[in-house]
Amino acid sequence: MKNILIINGPNLNLLGVREVELYGTKTLKEIEEECCEIFKNDKLNLDFFQSNSESEIIDKIQICKSYDGMIINAGAFTHTSIAIHDALKMVKIPKIEVHISNIYNREEFRKNSFISPVVNGIIAGFGTQVYQVAISSLKYL
C-alpha cells in the first residue's frame, strides 16, 4: 500500500463557498471523499491535512517519513513561504504541487512559487481534478 499525504494550506477549508467562479463548488471534504472513492481499489492510503497555519504545515511536512509521496496545495503560502520551501527541500519522497486555478494567468504575484523548485512536478488549472491527476501520478512512483 502506498501512503500519500495531501496537504492543503490557508483558506482551502473554505472551498465550495469562496470564489466559486475560480475554485468551483466542491468542498475540501467532498474532494477528499471523491478521491478516496476513485482510488479505493488502488491500495492507496490518502491522508488529507489542512491548516491555515504555516507552522502546522511545516510540522506535518517534517514528520512525513511514513509516506511514499506528498501532494501539496500550499495556497497563498506558495508565493510567500521560504520556510515551507525549506521543509519540502529536506523531504526525500516524491512531491507534487497542485493548484485548482491556473496561477500563471492570475495576478502577477501568484506567478512566483517558492514551492515549485523543490517538488517533482506541478499540476495547475484543471479545477479540483488536480488532486486526482496528482494521485494518479504518485501511484506510479
Task: Tell me which residues are annotated as active site.
Answer: 23, 99
Closest CA to 49 of 34, 59, 38: 59
Look up residue 118 and give its three cell numbers. Answer: 523543490
Three-state DSSP class for residue 78: helix
Q: CA–CA separation, 121 vs 137, rounded Å?
A: 9
CB neighbours of residue 80 within 10 Å: 15
Helix axes 82-90, 54-62, angle to 10 degrees: 10
> How far from each other are the two terminal CA atoms of the chain, in whole angstroms?
12
d(CA 101, CA 57): 21
